Chains A and B, each alone.
Chain A
């Protein structure tokens, strides 16, 4: 690239149809309450981990739904499963189980990939 002094960067666009939503399907099958999220952000606001890092459950929900799994894969490891999010959710989303299942899905699919 030094030949040009600049590079060709990948588009930031979420290509919905190209993305892999197997993780969110896995979760929805077991925890349909994920559908109820209205992205109010209450969970992220109270989040114990969010107090220290940029981890946002709200963001995670949406990225999972869009199949943007890679970002979630990294961040979700910082969740402490303390369950405050479930207590504050106005829509009764079982957020704790969603995190739990997401981790599980990643683990399952990773190990299958191996």
Chain B
């Protein structure tokens, strides 16, 4: 039986973290809602399991997504995670093959060299040592990057990096110490016994040439064990908890569990899965246009983990969804932000017990009931019957050109339509939701629903993506909800309107609420391609920018909104298009003052291109020609 006291710290750490992991997962599982429990069980014994393993390999070890967005940062994460994984894997095998006995205690694998100092003499052994050195070198290279990143995040190609709390620093140091100490310990031992490969061997023999290698080795083995132990024990208190937590996240997600609209186990698992890699910070326009660097998702996750006040962080955000898009861990960041907003003052705080190893929910809520909105003043309205309803929305009433364009298009379409908020419209409810006031929003939703039901329409067309999203997701309607860009697309497809081709170059700005937040990317572009020369920009689809005017941010000053809009407008008009086209009245209103080029809504350019019924009467063969033919384009 090989044993040495220095392995004790490591063992303590290891068994502690294992037990902790089990306990934690049991607690989390208990807190899961009943349906989620079922989902998880089904997932565990279903194909989700396979997917999860694959994803764990690709994301948790290889860090594919990070590699995609940022090679150096990806390499750093990969070398550490994957490298360490390999080290353990091959270490265990090594211990198993070359060790005195089989099926060893874990520490044997970790401190193999100490217990088998003369290992590595024979050729095959040497080859294996070479492999182990290679892996160690791989990790150390990553570690080197990590150290750089701390001192200049530019080194890993990042503009911003997250700030640390003291405990993180301790854990970080212990993490950093692990592999160097292993390197030196192994090298010294190798040096003493003339073993080791290109890394440990060379370094070892060199050190041994002028140092008492054998005596010096021992303390370094202690250091190695200690740093491992410390790291494991501190792990649950630090952001490094993301390493194990991410596995749960992946399982849960693949089992079909969603974030939902209030704090739950899943949201907590997500919060803990954030590795604070900081990619969301670089992606955030609040950061690179407005120079605000304290409210990005990484900081939100941290604030929640530390039970800090999340009010300002949660509310000072455009909710454009760019970070959700890029997050390598795939955390549903905006939904979590919305949970914080909804909670408002009546937030469930997590009280730390046992120095934060386990957190028990405690409701420190301020009752919200005592100040609720009331919209009982809203009049009963009886809209006429119609097949198609048009809901312009508040913002569209501030951009009458869009209203007029849509009126013109709807008239030309020859459909039986009615304008439900022409005189006095009521807000769709989305702005209240964005402010986290869902109960209040519900009142407006019910009011509008009444009108829509009464009309007996089969289609509802909105000009404002904000309305579109809420009608689509939060209303219980038996009508087809279309954004006007989709509606126009349909009109063109079924030939109920004819277009002229405008010899104009346009670029398209995808509104956040329509694009990332509702998944409507193609219809507007197809409409535009149909009637004009659509130029591409560097910010298409998922990567599109936010105009800055978002109702999602209630705190942002006009000045900063302007700064964001200016940057966006500049980016999208690089090719000096005739029009910068968008599909949202709010985007239009925000971008128009920020640029010299003409900013218009898609409905306006369509109205410009549309062939009116009167002209069709004059030359009927226009009906047979396609748009491009009639424009003389082949």
- B432 interface residue (CB < 8 Å to A): yes
B371, B373, B429: the one contacting A110 at CB < 8 Å is: B371
CA distance A114 to B444 in the complex (A): 30
Known A48-B427, A111-B370: A94·B558 in contact at CB below 8 Å: yes
Partner-contacting stretch, out of A4-12, A14-22, A73-81: A73-81
Measured between beta carbons, the chain A residues less than 8 angstroms from B554 are 94, 96-97, 100
Measured between beta carbons, the chain B residues less than 8 angstroms from A86 are 558
Measured between beta carbons, the chain B residues less than 8 angstroms from A82 are 394-395, 427, 431
A108 B366 Cβ-Cβ under 8 A: yes
CA distance A79 to B435 in the complex (A): 12
Q: B363: shortest Cβ distance to chain A, in Å? A: 14
- B398 interface residue (CB < 8 Å to A): yes
B377 A94 Cβ-Cβ under 8 A: no
B427 A80 Cβ-Cβ under 8 A: yes
A111 B424 Cβ-Cβ under 8 A: no
Interface residues as binary, B388-415 with A (CB distance below 8 Å gives 1, 0 otherwise): 0000001101100000000000000000
- B379 interface residue (CB < 8 Å to A): yes
Q: Give the one of B375, B398, B444, B589 with max A CB within 10 A.
A: B375
Known A81-B437, A100-B435: A53·B377 in contact at CB below 8 Å: yes
Measured between beta carbons, the chain A residues less than 8 angstroms from B437 are 81
- B631 interface residue (CB < 8 Å to A): no
Measured between beta carbons, the chain B residues less than 8 angstroms from A77 are 371-374
CA distance A32 to B167 in the complex (A): 37
Q: B465: shortest Cβ distance to chain A, in Å? A: 14
B379 A80 Cβ-Cβ under 8 A: no
Q: Give the one of B368, B431, B556 with max A CB within 10 A.
A: B431
A81 B377 Cβ-Cβ under 8 A: no
Q: Give the one of B379, B426, B586, B589 with max A CB within 10 A.
A: B426
A80 B371 Cβ-Cβ under 8 A: no
A52, A53, A84: the one contacting B394 at CB < 8 Å is: A84
Interface residues as binary, B551-592 with A (CB distance below 8 Å gives 1, 0 otherwise): 100111111000000000000000000000000001001000
B394 A110 Cβ-Cβ under 8 A: no
CA distance A77 to B554 in the complex (A): 17
- By beta carbon, the residue of chain B nearest A76 is B373
CA distance A108 to B549 in the complex (A): 29
* Chain B interface category by residue count: 35 or more
CA distance A77 to B439 in the complex (A): 13
A111 B367 Cβ-Cβ under 8 A: yes
A78 B375 Cβ-Cβ under 8 A: yes
A79 B373 Cβ-Cβ under 8 A: yes
Known A81-B432, A83-B551, A96-B554: A107·B394 in contact at CB below 8 Å: no
* Chain A interface category by residue count: 20 to 34
- A37 interface residue (CB < 8 Å to B): no
A48 B394 Cβ-Cβ under 8 A: yes
- A88 interface residue (CB < 8 Å to B): yes
CA distance A84 to B424 in the complex (A): 14
CA distance A110 to B371 in the complex (A): 9
- B291 interface residue (CB < 8 Å to A): no
- A103 interface residue (CB < 8 Å to B): yes
A106 B431 Cβ-Cβ under 8 A: no
A78 B366 Cβ-Cβ under 8 A: no
Measured between beta carbons, the chain B residues less than 8 angstroms from A79 are 373
- B345 interface residue (CB < 8 Å to A): yes
B371 A48 Cβ-Cβ under 8 A: no
A52 B424 Cβ-Cβ under 8 A: yes
Measured between beta carbons, the chain A residues less than 8 angstroms from B427 are 48, 80-82
- B378 interface residue (CB < 8 Å to A): yes
Known A82-B431, A83-B431, A84-B398: A111·B366 in contact at CB below 8 Å: yes
A92 B551 Cβ-Cβ under 8 A: no
CA distance A48 to B396 in the complex (A): 12
- A51 interface residue (CB < 8 Å to B): yes
A31, A84, A114: the one contacting B397 at CB < 8 Å is: A84
Q: A77: shortest Cβ distance to chain B, in Å? A: 5
B424 A51 Cβ-Cβ under 8 A: yes
Q: B397: shortest Cβ distance to chain A, in Å? A: 7
- By beta carbon, the residue of chain A nearest B376 is A78
Measured between beta carbons, the chain B residues less than 8 angstroms from A83 are 394-395, 431, 551
Measured between beta carbons, the chain B residues less than 8 angstroms from A31 are 555
- By beta carbon, the residue of chain A nearest B370 is A110
CA distance A83 to B431 in the complex (A): 8
CA distance A80 to B595 in the complex (A): 31
B377, B431, B551: the one contacting A78 at CB < 8 Å is: B377
Q: B462: shortest Cβ distance to chain A, in Å? A: 14
Q: A51: shortest Cβ distance to chain B, in Å? A: 5
- A104 interface residue (CB < 8 Å to B): yes
- A38 interface residue (CB < 8 Å to B): no
Q: 9 closest A-B pairs (Cβ-Cβ)? A: A92-B558, A80-B427, A82-B427, A107-B371, A82-B394, A81-B431, A111-B366, A77-B373, A51-B424
A-B contact pairs, 30 of them (CB 8 A): A46-B398, A48-B394, A48-B426, A51-B424, A52-B378, A53-B377, A77-B371, A77-B372, A78-B374, A78-B375, A78-B377, A81-B432, A81-B435, A84-B397, A86-B558, A87-B589, A88-B398, A92-B559, A94-B555, A96-B431, A97-B554, A97-B555, A104-B344, A107-B345, A107-B370, A108-B345, A110-B370, A110-B371, A111-B367, A111-B370
